[in-house]
Amino acid sequence: MLYRRVMILPALLFLAAQPVTFSRDVAPILFERCVKCHRPGEVAPMSLLDYKSARPWAKSIGEAVAARRMPPWMADPHFSKFSNDPSLTETEISTIRAWVAGGALEGDAKQLPQAPVFVAGWELGTPDVTIDIGKTYTVMPGRDSYEHFIVQTGFKEGMWLRAADLHPGNRKVVHHAHVNIVPSENQAGATTIQSMTSLNDYLVKDGNLTRISQTAPVLDDGCQANAPNLPYLHGAQEGALASYLPGRSPDVFGENRAKWIPPGAKLEFVIHYAPLADPNAQATDRTSVGLYRAPRPPEEVLRRMDLRNFFFVIPPGEGAHRVTRCYAFEKDQTLLSITPHMHYRGKDARYDLIRADGRTETLLFVPKYDFNWQLVYRLHQPLLVEKGSRLVVTVHFDNSANNPANPDPAKAIRWGDKTEEEMMTSWIEYVETKK
């Protein structure tokens, strides 16, 4: 107690003596935690790069940080720690609130730290190689579509990548996107429904959109003992090279980890275009991926496994409909990150690991899933999981009228590409554990 008082008292005296100012106290926090989104041309509605732009927002900045709405982070802090957790410290929050309470003063501009320098559009700086979809694509107004673009890399030699940034050409219409490596001719990229041929019997095609047929078997509890052997309900599927979801940061593989693009490979872009608000408005897109070369061949090859349950049904009006999917580890693997993916009815998502010896831990709990913030959660430490362990993914869907994002509570919902239908997908980055 004494220790605490000793710590806090000088800080309070200091604050009382010197007004909190933008230049000295607040700008460093905004530069570190906010401006990667809050700068001209980025996702956020206003820039926080300078006093003039930030000042009109002072009150809502104070509220947003106090409520921990900003910076966006959806993981329940009671479980694992994450290396990319951008949450502000209590001290940072009090500094911002003291600034607002004190009249949101500018202070001495000479005390302003150097603003971070951004390369237009690329969070990680200029890519070594940029490859785009090969044409300017015109998005048909008022209609969802899934488009595939296959382009040559032209790589004579392969390339080890330390990062890939899938960059929507037009954020207003690109709802989400993947880029897959197509290593050779006649091979569909991973993560595409085209590559999941054993699902064919259960699918209905609607132009280039796909959904599961109403008559397909139903299995909400993919983890149940003796679950029938439905396609892709067990094991895992190979994931994409990189993906874009609303709010997601670039795919960074790490210093000693990399992904490999073989010589002569093609890239397949899979892009979901969502309808424009104005059904008569036309828009164009030219999405690209920025590739960042690894300095040397890696110690470990980074992989991504995708876990899905295609066979759930969410009854109309149901407020918390549970769907599960399990993964049994058949060898030792080291997990690095988790990304949950659902659509508008996604309510929460939990990842529990049951170790071979029976110990259980929750790796991630997202208590309020939000379609607009589909973040990647990078585990603080790579997590070794032994063969014989089981990962249990449990999600709930809110198909009730209480869910403001729900487009239609009267419908039973199954798996489908459209945003108005649902998905239950997890992407898990891992490396094969060395013996």
Residues lying near ligand HEC in the complex (CB under 6 A) are found at: 33-34, 36-38, 43-45, 57, 60-61, 63-65, 69-72, 86, 88, 247
Cβ–Cβ contacts within 10 Å for residue 129, how many? 16
Minimum CB–partner distance for residue 37 and ligand HEC (Å): 3
Q: Which is nearer to ligand HEC, 59 or 143 (CB)?
A: 59
- For residue 24, the SS3 value is helix
- Nearest to 409, CA basis, from 417, 399, 418: 399
State the angle between helix axes of 58-66 and 90-101 in degrees (0 to 180), rounded to the nearest 10: 150
Q: Which is nearer to ligand HEC, 57 or 202 (CB)?
A: 57
CA separation for the pair 125, 104 (Å, rounded): 32
In degrees, to the nearest 5, what angle opens at C-alpha 401 toward C-alphas 399 and 406?
55
Minimum CB–partner distance for residue 42 and ligand HEC (Å): 8
Contact 146, 421 (CB under 8 A): no
Q: Which is nearer to ligand HEC, 22 or 327 (CB)?
A: 22
Q: Which is nearer to ligand HEC, 54 or 305 (CB)?
A: 54
- DSSP assignment of 73-84, as one string? --S-TTS--BTT
Minimum CB–partner distance for residue 171 and ligand HEC (Å): 10
Minimum CB–partner distance for residue 41 and ligand HEC (Å): 13
Minimum CB–partner distance for residue 46 and ligand HEC (Å): 7
Exposure string for 165-184, b = 16+ CB within 10 A, e = fewer: bbbbbbeebbbbbbbbbbee
Contact 158, 262 (CB under 8 A): yes
Minimum CB–partner distance for residue 49 and ligand HEC (Å): 12
Q: Which is nearer to ligand HEC, 158 or 247 (CB)?
A: 247
Q: Which is nearer to ligand HEC, 97 or 234 (CB)?
A: 97
Tokens representing 153 are 């890399």
- DSSP code for 102: T
Pairing of strands 346-354, 300-308: unpaired
Q: Which is nearer to ligand HEC, 57 or 122 (CB)?
A: 57
Cβ–Cβ contacts within 10 Å for residue 257, how many? 21
Helices (H) and strands (E) in the chain, counts: 5, 22
Q: Which is nearer to ligand HEC, 54 or 133 (CB)?
A: 54
Contact 170, 285 (CB under 8 A): yes
| Residue whose pair of structure tokens reads 């599927």 in the numeric block | 237
Minimum CB–partner distance for residue 249 and ligand HEC (Å): 7
Minimum CB–partner distance for residue 101 and ligand HEC (Å): 15
Q: Which is nearer to ligand HEC, 38 or 325 (CB)?
A: 38
Minimum CB–partner distance for residue 177 and ligand HEC (Å): 17
Q: Which element (helix H / strand E) includes 344?
A: none
CA distances from 428 to 122, 162, 198, 250, 313 (A): 24, 17, 22, 15, 24
Minimum CB–partner distance for residue 67 and ligand HEC (Å): 8
CA-CA-CA-CA torsion sign (272, 274, 279, 285) = negative
CA separation for the pair 150, 152 (Å, rounded): 7
Minimum CB–partner distance for residue 77 and ligand HEC (Å): 16
Q: Which is nearer to ligand HEC, 93 or 227 (CB)?
A: 93
First-last CA distance in the chain: 48
CA distances from 346 to 19, 52, 111, 369 (A): 44, 38, 45, 6
Q: Which is nearer to ligand HEC, 46 or 301 (CB)?
A: 46
- Number of residues that make up the chain: 435
